[in-house]
Structure 1
């Protein structure tokens, strides 16, 4: 009887518990909440926002600011909390009575006034992923992997490992597409990204999206290395007045930055301004002076609820003394691993022969059009121009002035001279550096007459013909870029992105005589060609149309040509998002055309150096696809693959662009096949 009573009692309690659980399950139905989170003021989609229920269940917005949250909810009324670092938390009360699905529409979040768009914690690069509660995850829509504004690995690779020439996956920067306010900023000639063009503007360059590899991004087809995008609109910058002074012991000693941002103002205006200077009389390497400035202006105008304009202009003029690599023998003689052979004393002051001087400002006009609640169009036009160059020594019919030239070292000398040379280089810093006084003396004493100067019969020029000069090797360019990007959320599962790009580029490569070093003129001839032919006087001329050309300070000489590039491309990408899987498919078509125009006729190649070369045309295409399986809110499996072609860069295509139009034989597009998973 006791056993029977115990079993009946146990079954009774078990049945009662099951009935209670069943009744609770009936009362708590699966509810679906969906919506879009926007940034207040700009109405831009806000990724990385957590939508959190009182029970702790959550979902994270995707790149378009969308979220879908499914959970078992019994209450008729709940409060959903929206949270993201550096933004004020937004709470929304939701009425669930009699509803199984609720569309919350657009939820706006404003940046915190005290911390701005980026708080101190955001200065540390992070990756943001979904934070769904593992319990009950089977009933939820799991957000895809999100790419944060600044990735810890990307930042470490760029700033920590960069000096060691580390490259993410071994790719150079030309394999990563970089955009600034919707404008591609990769250099068309090399494909490289020159970060110095916006150096010192840290305060206004914080809004950046990164993608590594073949992941889908909403603003570009991308390269095999990924894509990055800066957004410098004034309306995205936090309201601030900021003055910063920093000390450093590296390439520069001092940094001063000033930034002023109004935030959104009445009438739909917003303005952001920033300026900086970084300078040093000398860095940690001898002879490396540094003087770099930066300026930035961004103006926003919100025309109405659908249209807004932005104009951004920036530049970063810099002038710095370069360091140079040398041989181990000189490092040992100087007892200094930072030995720099590029400088020497002149009138008691250090003077560097290799001064980099760069200023390539850029202006971008951007128009954002919110066509409908689900479709937007961004169109940008940009123009960049300016100078990029650096000085170097040139000499004619004179000994090599470089202090670490192998013939000047003890290892090249005869035994009886070696010890004396070694002792001199060990004990005298001046002996290890450029001898400016010697070059001035040689030039002043080299009085010569040039007959038929400038190709004029009977024209004789007499004076101090410089044997040593400082030349400025220039790589100036101008570039016009147009780009448009369409984004449309066709339904809750499918987003379509696409774009068109056109680039007009003209590079101008030439040399300018910077300093005659005490002489009266220089002669524009090829010193190396004299060893190959002496019978034909035209052979040594850099410009056969003006033989025996007299060159003075400020004149162009040596070589002078243009590189013209025209690029066009179209791309489209479809992103599919479901509770357990995400996948995408994208493709692009493009064309690159380039040619050389010689502005002078070189004597070594009189029939193939002046005028326009044959145009080189390279059609390009690419496809990529990816699949992501979402195990839960913190664990994902992904597989991406892509195949694309890429036109050769002009730096690789021309055999010797300084002298002729020839291109390399068998020139063809690169074929790139990549598969990644994790």
Structure 2
């Protein structure tokens, strides 16, 4: 070795030694306050020295700096700056760092469909909004239904699942689910026939939801939809690009059991990634006779060929069945207990329910995100869903009840077997009382495409334009599920079978077999019809924003057509109805002003022309077109104030929503011949005003406190104008016709002006806190009070329900291992077992000598809310 080589080698080793000696080590753990945050970034500010956390949130960082500042960041959370000083030659452990969520970065955790998912952060002009994180959904849902995760939100009221698993109801600013838009990864999921939401079809939502954003009122939705109450954006999991998975087990009150398995391959070298999840659940239900069972499955395949394109295909389904409880007089609950349910009985000692809901609705999404360049992107989702299932009920007039009000299936079966030939009919003659259990089948096939182009022209101006098209085919009929000893059931009211026929086939009320059930036309009872709804809309938005202010305008226009085929009530030549088409639109605009970095004020306004639902277009489930329907008019205005600081965030909103020209029409047959009369209820108008406050405070590193309050005044602000028309749309004269021997009044005004709108509590207040005793152990609690809650009735003097308070609590403990963790979670809901009425569907006043309960006439129909419930879960992350 030459001298030069020796010198070079010696100098190199010295330099390496010096460099090695200068490398200091910093370690620590990053969490969200409860759970580790794998993949968090830790950087020495101003250098290239960095590290990322492992699956347990732990990191080891090598640096040559003896002092400086660490920047700790994670998607969806506020970044944290932390100064450090290291003694030479020693290792520095900075302990556990708890990052706080940043709702303004919510869209950054959305892996797919960002351009079609209408998150509030896509626009710099604020709206009234609340965010529910994946952590909160995961920890607090347990054995509760999906709407329950939104109950700590201003102006949101959730009626408990007293009807059975999946039967919750949700109100936003006093408007029910039919008038609140629900979007799943940008896909509208409200029923196209009536706007309803059936949460039993989405029982797996708590397992797959990545985040939920509740936009109250006008919202920031760009789609061609016209929601009155607001928009709920549900963002599901996509293909997880980090390898790993989890196994979870939950038990709860009333024998509730739930097991979930999930695994992700992570993003592989070939650009593909795969995620899968499977859940099984079962339970007896809180109220008697509300058993349920189901599965949830989720499969997602992602492909990222390059930085410009991202594809994701997912399949999500939740086949389930659950037995149901219906509203009944308060007197019945007082007599038989608050868990009383009269929809079931026993046959030869075995439990049997008359009312069971069963459904399976797989949803398929294909998302494509194309980053055209740094300023333009195109996002599209092609989707389909196939709903199969329905609900059971009694068929015929032979129901017999026991002394305690339950269905006496033994006596029913014996009565059926005494009928001639054991063939039942609907006849009420000669004491014939046939009885069977039927399935009301509601199948559908739904296809749609949402595509949105975004262009950020410069730092101040951006716009988007998009397309929303859907087609829906619904099929509805009734079939027999259980003949209860009969050989068959005779049908004489099918117009296409004038000689009648006997139904002998039975079909199981099961979500899996519903996919293959296909009865012949002469094996159906009561009705058999299809409907096609076609929809197309375009939408757009433009926004100009600076550091000081922002302004925006949004608009959309849509057209939809309706047609119906009835194979039961019409001859084959007349089974197709007239096609009905209508057009709607909406326009919204607003602006904001940033007083400084902490204070912002804003105002938004909008006008909707909302098309009537399909079920309001055709009368009485027939082909007769309602000639009196028209678009409803909604005008909304809201103003808000935002305050944000390191320790406190405050949101204050005020709103006014006017809903006019609500129209309902029904038809009836006059006593005089077969004259059809159309009874039109028009001019129904609602005015909803209110203020909302929400805050998040971080007074201590270990303590987060949040709260909300909403004070509403929701009233009918006009009289109802009732008119009766003949088939030629002529207003009838007073007394020209009679119905059930009562004279028909051609036009009259019913006074409901000033009556309170029922369904949701108009005053809600809540307060919650989470305290982290150690980095691995925390407790949390939420308190809510509900007041000014009224019955679901349109009457001058509506009935007010008693106010009530609820308290929920939870405990979380996490054990951390080298590359995994085990989390234990206990939830107790309604800790103090409050007894309360959650909803009433009638408004019978207190009369003289009437029996009352808390000042309410016991003849009113309704539900008691659930008492104390609990669930305990274990989740192993690997």
Other-structure match for 1:631: 595
| CA pair 52-231 structure 1, distance change in 2 beyond 3 A | farther
User: What does residue 661 of structure 2 align with?
Assistant: none
Q: What secondary structure, in the 3-state scheme, does the structure 2 residue paired with 1:167 have? A: strand
1:611 pairs with one of 537, 551, 575: 575
Partner of 1:327: 329
Change (3 A) 1:198 1:333: closer
Aligned pairs (5 A) from 1:480-559: 480-525=447-492, 541-554=493-506, 555-559=523-527
Q: Pairwise CA RMSD of aligned residues?
A: 3.6
Displacement of 1:626 in angstroms is 1.1
Residues 449 and 290 from structure 1, CA distance in 2 versus in 1: closer, same or farther, beyond 3 angstroms? closer
CA distance in 1, matches of 2:239, 2:170: 35
Give the C-alpha shift of residue 247 in structure 1.
1.5
What is residue 139 of structure 1 aligned with on the other side?
none
| Partner residue in 2 for 1:601 | 569
Whether the 8 Å CA contact 1:176–1:225 is kept in 2: the answer is yes
**2: CA distance, partners of 1:576 / 1:219:** 20
CA contact (8 A) 2:289 2:325 kept: yes
1:579 matched to 2:561? The reply is: no
Q: CA deviation at 1:581?
A: 1.1
Superposition pairs of residues 68-147 of structure 1, within 5 angstroms: 81=71, 83-84=73-74, 127-128=103-104, 145=126
Measured against aligned partners, the alpha-carbon deviations of 1:118-174 in whole angstroms (never above 9, x if no partner) come to x9976xxx85599xxxxxxxxxxx976486642899442599841165622112234
The answer to which structure has the higher strand fraction is 2
Does structure 2 conserve the Cα–Cα contact (< 8 Å) formed by 1:599 and 1:610? Answer: no
Q: Is the 8 A contact 1:590 1:620 kept in 2?
A: yes
Deviation string 1:420-459 (CA, Å, 9 cap, x unpaired) is xxxxx4xxxxx431110011101111124989x9xxxxxx
Counterpart check, 1:569 vs 2:521? no
Match for residue 389 of structure 1? Answer: 390
C-alpha spacing 1:287/1:233, structure 2 compared with 1 (3 Å): closer
In the other structure, the counterpart of 1:621 is: 585
**What is the CA distance between 1:670 and its match in structure 2?**
1.1
Matched-pair contact (CA < 8 Å) for 2:489–2:502 = yes
Provide the rounded CA distance (Å) in 1 between the counterparts of 2:382 and 2:535: 15
**Residues 52/491 of structure 1: CA separation in 2 closer, same or farther (3 Å cut):** farther
Match of 2:636 in 1: 674
Per the alignment, do residues 52 and 639 of structure 1 end up closer, same or farther by CA in structure 2, a change over 3 Å counting?
farther
CA contact (8 A) 1:524 1:549 kept: yes
Change (3 A) 1:86 1:211: closer
Note the C-alpha offset of 1:642: 0.4
Change (3 A) 1:402 1:665: farther
The Cα of 1:259 is off from its aligned counterpart by 1.3
| Separation (CA, whole Å) in 1 of partners of 2:229 and 2:331 | 39
Deviation of 1:622 after TM superposition, in Å, equals 1.0
- Name the CA shift for 1:194/1:435 in 2 (closer, same or farther; >3 Å): closer
Aligned-partner Cα distance in 1 for 2:75–2:372: 30
Find the aligned partners of 1:669 and 1:259 in 2 and give their Cα distance: 46
1:253 maps to which residue?
A: 256
Question: Cα gap change, 1:284/1:174 in structure 2, threshold over 3 Å: closer, same or farther?
Answer: closer
Pick the aligned partner of 2:215 from 202, 211, 235: 211
Mapped contact 1:214–1:641 kept (Cα < 8 A): yes
Q: Is the 8 A contact 2:195 2:613 kept in 1?
A: yes
Report the Cα distance in structure 1 between the residues aligned to 2:483 and 2:589, rounded to whole angstroms. Answer: 59
Instruction: Give the aligned partner of residue 373 of structure 2.
Output: 372
Which residue in the other structure is 1:650 paired with?
614
Write out per-residue CA displacement over residues 173-225 of structure 1, whole angstroms, 9 at most, x where no aligned residue: 34333332332222211223344333235343123444222243567766343
Matched ranges for 1:438-477 at <5 A: 438-448=411-421, 467-477=434-444
Provide Cα deviations, 1:61-107, integer angstroms capped at 9, x if missing partner.
Answer: xxxxxxxxxxxxxxxxx98957346669699xxxxxxxxxxxxxxxx
Q: Is the 8 A contact 1:233 1:300 kept in 2?
A: no
Partners of 1:225 and 1:381 in 2: how far apart? 27
Mapped pair 1:302 → 2:304 = yes
Larger Rg: 1
* Cα separation, 2, equivalents of 1:228 and 1:324: 27
1:578-625 CA-to-partner distances (Å, cap 9, x unmatched) read: 1111121011011011121112335xxx69x94211111111111100
Q: Deviations over 1:538-557 (max 9, x none)?
A: xxx23343422111123322
Partner SS, residue 536 of structure 2: strand
1:496 and 1:380 map into 2 onto residues whose CA distance is 19
1:257 & 1:449 partners in 2: Cα distance? 47
Q: What aligned pairs does 1:281-430 form with structure 2 within 5 A after superposition?
A: 282-334=284-336, 336-396=337-397, 398=398, 400-401=399-400, 425=403
Per-residue CA distance 1:442-499 (angstroms, 9 max, x = gap) = 1111124989x9xxxxxxxxxxx98110000111111111110111111101121221
Taking a change above 3 Å as real, the CA distance of residues 569 and 488 of structure 1, as seen in their structure-2 partners, is same
Q: Pick one of 151, 159, 165 that aligns with 1:163.
A: 159
**Is the contact between residue 204 and residue 317 of structure 2 (CA under 8 Å) also seen in structure 1?**
no
The alpha-carbon deviation at position 234 of structure 1 amounts to: 3.0
The question of 1:664 aligning with 2:626 is answered yes
Cα distance, 1:661–1:86 mapped onto 2, change above 3 Å: closer
Indicate the structure with greater helix content: 1
| Distance in 1, Cα, partners of 2:131 & 2:458 | 26
CA contact (8 A) 1:571 1:589 kept: yes
Is residue 343–residue 353 contact of structure 1 (8 Å, CA) maintained in 2? yes
Inter-partner Cα distance in structure 2 for 1:480 and 1:368:
20
Relative to structure 1, is the Cα distance of residues 127 and 303 closer, same or farther in structure 2, using a 3 angstrom cutoff? closer
Offset at residue 364 of structure 1 (A):
1.0
User: Which of the numbers 264, 271, 276 marks the counterpart of 1:273?
Assistant: 276
Q: Is the 8 A contact 1:627 1:638 kept in 2?
A: yes
Q: 1:512 to 1:616 in 2, by over 3 A?
A: same
Match of 1:436 among 406, 409, 422: 409
Distance change >3 Å, CA 224–CA 259, structure 1 → 2 = same
Would you say 1:262 and 2:265 are equivalent positions? yes
* Residues 1:306 and 1:392: Cα distance change in structure 2 (over 3 Å): same
SS in 2 for 1:263: coil
Verify the 8 A CA contact 2:455 2:462 in the aligned structure 1.
yes
Supply the distance in 2 between the matched residues of 1:511 and 1:158 (Cα, whole angstroms).
41
C-alpha deviation, 1:654, in angstroms = 2.0
Distance 2:216 2:246 in 1: 32
How far apart are the structure 2 equivalents of 1:547 and 1:178?
A: 46
Separation in structure 2 between the aligned mates of residue 188 and residue 355 of structure 1, nearest angstrom: 23
Deviation track 1:505-546 (CA, whole Å, cap 9, x = no partner) reads 011111011111011010113xxxxxxxxxxxxxxx233434
CA contact (8 A) 2:210 2:237 kept: no
Query: In the alignment, is the contact (CA less than 8 A) between 1:485 and 1:499 conserved in 2?
Result: yes
Deviation at residue 291 of structure 1 after TM alignment? 0.4
Instruction: Report what 2:702 is aligned to.
Output: none
Cα–Cα, structure 1 residues 634 and 128, in superposed 2: closer, same or farther, change >3 Å? farther
Query: SS of the residue aligned with 2:328?
Result: coil
Secondary structure of the residue that 1:432 maps to in structure 2? Answer: coil
